[in-house]
């Protein structure tokens, strides 16, 4: 409430001023502190910048023409894939044939943590998994140029009690749990998403992987504690690779399910329904499992062989050190270093050497 000073209340020395009541002042102070705490705790929070119109910048003529050349348009549906190890974000666009084609790959400036999913708020880990990005997850006034929220924690993450907030794909090339792009890169990605929504598409799918889900890459990381999770999301990766259309995803029995043969949302911890049969996927998974087992076995043998070679090298090194240590003891060194080498003391003078010309 705003009011003029009342002389009877001790404000006579400030004539003409409008003062804020003490209660309102306290409320404003609390609000400022709350905002400060929110900013300090958020991973990649965003703020409104008055008068900034960067979110409405149109796509360049080159981008529009590139989309037209591949049989798509700015208003068509899209899909985004992220690969941590390769530091790449891909934008795929639906074409006139109904399938998706890769439009462009963008370099990721930075992401936080290591390969593997995010578990809790503050672990500075960038998430992995599948999400559905809706217009409400766009951040047109981000403090990191432009951004969209990854949707973490999604249904899978919540089912496992995982926590985190404000996990974004944004600009500014700086990450504390987010995927940071160049400002130019995120501006184009944001505009592609914005125009896709303007075209009547209600969402786009975001797929985040630790690396390209090949058997060779999985074999390299076969000892990872995240292997079961990675094999789970690999099913969605394989389906998209085979069909070039985004698979429907949900969560049941605490895991991702792709293309379930049912309608309506599933209980994240309830039983899983059957999935829509895909003979090509079944054949690929069987072949990949056999290859992965073989590659993992070969990788383990190589690891064991390297360990044996290192052990043998260490043993030889110790033997050589012991040999020269023994010689050193004979020539003034410390013979006590090796308990098997004893000095010989007879009490008799050593004999003189025989002259060379007198030797037989």
Higher pLDDT: 216 or 16? It is 216
> pLDDT tens for residues 55-99?
999 999 999 999 999 999 999 999 999 999 999 999 999 999 999
Examine the domain organization and report whether 60 and 143 are in the same domain: yes
Residues 117 and 29 in one domain: no
Residue 358 lies in a domain: no
Tell me how far apart the alpha carbons of residues 233 and 167 are, in angstroms, rounded to a whole number: 19
Q: Is residue 314 part of a domain?
A: no
- Same-domain check for residues 156 and 207: yes
pLDDT for residue 339: 57
Query: Is residue 208 in some structural domain?
Result: yes
pLDDT at 137: 97
Q: Which of 183, 212, 241 is the last residue of a domain?
A: 212
Question: What total of structural domains would you count in the chain?
Answer: 2
Confidence at 313, pLDDT banded by 50, 70, 90: confident
Give the pLDDT band (50/70/90) at residue 147: very high
Residue 29 domain boundaries: 2-41
Catalytic amino acids?
170, 178
Residue 109 and residue 24 share a domain: no
From the number of C-beta atoms within 10 Å of its C-beta (0-12, 13-18, 19+), residue 63 rates as: middle
Q: Are residues 141 and 70 in the same domain?
A: yes
Query: Do 182 and 50 fall into the same domain?
Result: yes
**pLDDT value at position 9?**
36
Vertex 107: Cα angle to 188 and 50 (nearest 5):
40
Contact present, 282 and 301 (Cβ < 8 Å): no
The residue-averaged pLDDT of 287-292 equals: 94
Asked if residue 55 and residue 36 are part of one domain, the reply reads: no
The two tokens of residue 37 are 């705490």
Digit-coded pLDDT (tens) for 331-357: 555 545 555 655 555 566 656 655 555
One domain, residues 35 and 102: no
Give the percent of the chain with pLDDT over 70: 73
Residue 319 lies in a domain: no
CA nearest 122: which of 180, 42, 179, 47? 42
Domain boundary among 212, 234, 255: 212
For residue 326, name the pLDDT band (cuts at 50, 70, 90).
Answer: low
Banded model confidence at residue 324, pLDDT cuts 50, 70, 90: low
pTM assigned to the model: 0.72
Instruction: Report if residue 6 sits inside a domain.
Output: yes
Region 203-216 average pLDDT: 98
For residue 21, CA distances in Å to 6, 12, 143, 215, 256 come to 12, 16, 33, 68, 54
Q: What is the pLDDT of residues 91-125, one digit of tens each?
A: 999 999 999 999 999 999 999 899 999 999 999 99
Between 44 and 294, the more confident residue is 294
- pLDDT value, residue 48: 43
CATH number for the domain including 182? 2.40.440.10
Q: How far is CA 192 from CA 26, 56, 67, 91, in A?
A: 44, 11, 10, 9
pLDDT at residue 46 greater than cutoff 50: no
Q: Is the pLDDT of residue 275 over 90?
A: yes
Please tell me whether residues 192 and 56 are part of one structural domain: yes
311, part of any domain: no
Claim to verify: residue 28 and residue 96 sit in the same structural domain: no
* Last-in-domain residue among 212, 247, 264: 212
Lowest mean per-residue pLDDT among 19-28, 215-224, 241-250, 325-334? 19-28
Q: In terms of domains, do 31 and 50 share one?
A: no
Residue 42 vs residue 292, higher pLDDT: 292
| 127 is a domain residue | yes
If asked whether residues 82 and 112 sit together in one domain, one would say yes
- What mean pLDDT value characterizes the chain? 83
- CA 83 – CA 65 distance, rounded (Å): 27
Given this model, what pLDDT does residue 31 score? 47
Task: Quickly count helices (H) and strands (E) in the chain.
Answer: 7, 14
Q: Is 231 a member of any domain?
A: no
């Amino acid at each position: 409430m705003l009011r003029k000073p009342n002389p009877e209340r001790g404000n006579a020395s400030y004539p003409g001023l409008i003062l804020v009541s003490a209660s309102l002042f306290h409320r404003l102070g609390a609000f400022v502190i709350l905002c400060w705490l929110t900013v300090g705790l958020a991973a990649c929070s965003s703020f409104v910048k008055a008068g900034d119109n960067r979110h409405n910048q149109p796509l360049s003529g080159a981008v529009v023409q590139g989309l037209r050349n591949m049989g798509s348009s700015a208003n068509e549906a899209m899909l985004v894939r992220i690969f941590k190890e390769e530091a790449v974000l891909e934008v795929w666009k639906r074409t006139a044939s109904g399938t998706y084609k890769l439009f462009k790959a963008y370099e990721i400036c930075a992401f936080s943590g290591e390969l593997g999913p995010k578990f809790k708020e503050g672990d500075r880990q960038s998430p992995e998994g599948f999400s559905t990005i809706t217009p409400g997850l766009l951040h047109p006034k981000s403090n990191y140029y432009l951004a969209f929220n990854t949707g973490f924690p999604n249904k899978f993450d919540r089912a496992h009690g995982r926590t985190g907030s404000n996990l974004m794909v944004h600009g500014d090339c700086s990450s504390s749990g987010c995927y940071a792009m160049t400002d130019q890169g995120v501006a184009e990605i944001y505009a592609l998403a914005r125009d896709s929504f303007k075209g009547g598409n209600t969402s786009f799918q975001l797929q985040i992987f630790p690396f390209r889900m090949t058997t060779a890459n999985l074999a390299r990381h076969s000892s990872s504690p995240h292997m079961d999770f990675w094999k789970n999301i690999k099913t969605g990766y394989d389906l998209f690779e085979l069909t070039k259309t985004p698979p429907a995803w949900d969560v049941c029995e605490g895991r991702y399910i792709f293309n379930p043969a049912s309608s309506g949302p599933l209980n994240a911890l309830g039983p899983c329904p059957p999935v829509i049969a895909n003979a090509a996927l079944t054949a690929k998974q069987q072949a990949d499992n056999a290859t992965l087992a073989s590659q993992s076995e070969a990788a383990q043998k190589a690891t064991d062989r390297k360990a044996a070679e290192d052990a043998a090298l260490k043993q030889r090194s110790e033997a050589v050190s012991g040999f020269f240590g023994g010689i050193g003891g004979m020539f003034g060194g410390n013979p006590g270093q090796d308990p098997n080498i004893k000095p010989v003391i007879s009490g008799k003078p050593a004999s003189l050497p025989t002259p060379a010309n007198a030797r037989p």
